[in-house]
Chain A
Amino acid sequence: MEFNQKEPIYAQIIDDIKIKFINGTYRPGQEIPSRRELAKELGVNPNTIQRAYREMEDMNLIVTARGQGSFMTNDLYVLDTLREEAMNHAVSQSVELLRSFGKPDEEILDAIRRYLARGSS
């Protein structure tokens, strides 16, 4: 993965795993790379990875079994909540951007309908 330089690295790692969970790269209950593996693979400080994993444990996004590695949660409610959050975030970003161009809401809605009607691009 590529890092941007502005955000803390641990936050970017959490976002990356969230996205992989939402888009199905990681399925519920699937094992994810261990902290050590990920640190080596990305060349990221292992203490930073540790922080990301600990926060994901606190968020109930992953479960770590001692000596067995880390796994995505089996709790489908967590996945649904993440999907919901991701959608709201994407919608508010696009709508606010279009509003900032001075587009009225009806026009934005029309544009979205037209886009959807065209089918998957």
Chain B
Amino acid sequence: MIKVEHAVKAFGRKKVLDNLSFVAEEGQIVGLLGTNGAGKSTMLRTIAGLLRLDQGEITIDGKQPNLTTRAMINFLPDVDVWYSWMKLSDAMKYMRDIYWDWDDSKASHLLDFFELKPSALICEASKGTRAKMKLLLALSRQAKYLLLDEPFSGIDPFARQQIAQAIVEDFVEEGQSILITTHEVSEVEIMLDEVLFIHEGKLLLNGNVEKLKQASNQSLLEIVKGAYELARV
């Protein structure tokens, strides 16, 4: 269980996380939705232990982010972290050396599924292919928590569907907990259990997607827009 309590983080004068609290239960896919600059990526980075909160507390299975929790967490950042000389196979070797939970059979399954070539240079791949490569590198670990930062941004609909299928397939097999940030609301809604909608560092909406839709008879996008409009007045 990931528990975030009264998280506050400021960059200069700007409060990026403003007293944010939520719980991500085990075995669920939670969507962290929000406008640009809402604080989604910052939230993920603090959970991953790459940033510290100014105030408040984050616990992962009761422990504050440290080296032990990092081993339990698999973080897919939205920025490119691989060297320009690296082929996909180099990055796979690197991951295998760093993480004991790297799973070669998952990696080769995903190579097939995404039709990727290990000999291809990561930096020369198209945006969609690069997204698949990055997802392969992330999903081939067997970590308990998976944090995905914008896995769909700038990717064509066909590749998006493949990426969504790969994420759900991995979840079906392993039942880990997944926290996924995006602004492609309609793209992720079929894979979510819970939704968190944040705007300017504050939590505006939190709940089970299917129950919210059933109660309001609206699409998730409409529900989220409603919460956004309400917050602006």
Contacts and interface: CB of A to CB of B under 8 A. Distances in A.
Contact of B210 (A40, A46, A48): A48
A43 B186 contact: no
B37 to A, nearest CB: 25
B219 A42 contact: no
A8 B221 contact: no
Contact of A43 (B27, B165, B210): B165
B191 A43 contact: yes
B192 A8 contact: no
A60 interface: no
B169 interface: yes
Nearest to A9: B190
A10 B209 CA distance: 11
Contacts of B171: 45-46
A5 B219 contact: yes
**Chain B interface extent, by class:** 20 to 34
Contacts, number: 55
Interface string B156-170: 000001001101110
Contact of B190 (A3, A36, A40, A51): A3
B189 interface: yes
Contact of B172 (A3, A11, A40): A40
Contacts of B164: 43
A97 interface: no
Interface string B197-231: 00000000000001101100111110000000000
Given A47-B28, A48-B210, A5 B220 contact: yes
A113 interface: no
A93 to B, nearest CB: 18
B165 A40 contact: yes
A44 interface: yes
Interface string B19-63: 000000001110000000000000000000000000000000000
7 contacts: A5-B186, A6-B213, A8-B213, A44-B191, A46-B168, A47-B27, A48-B210
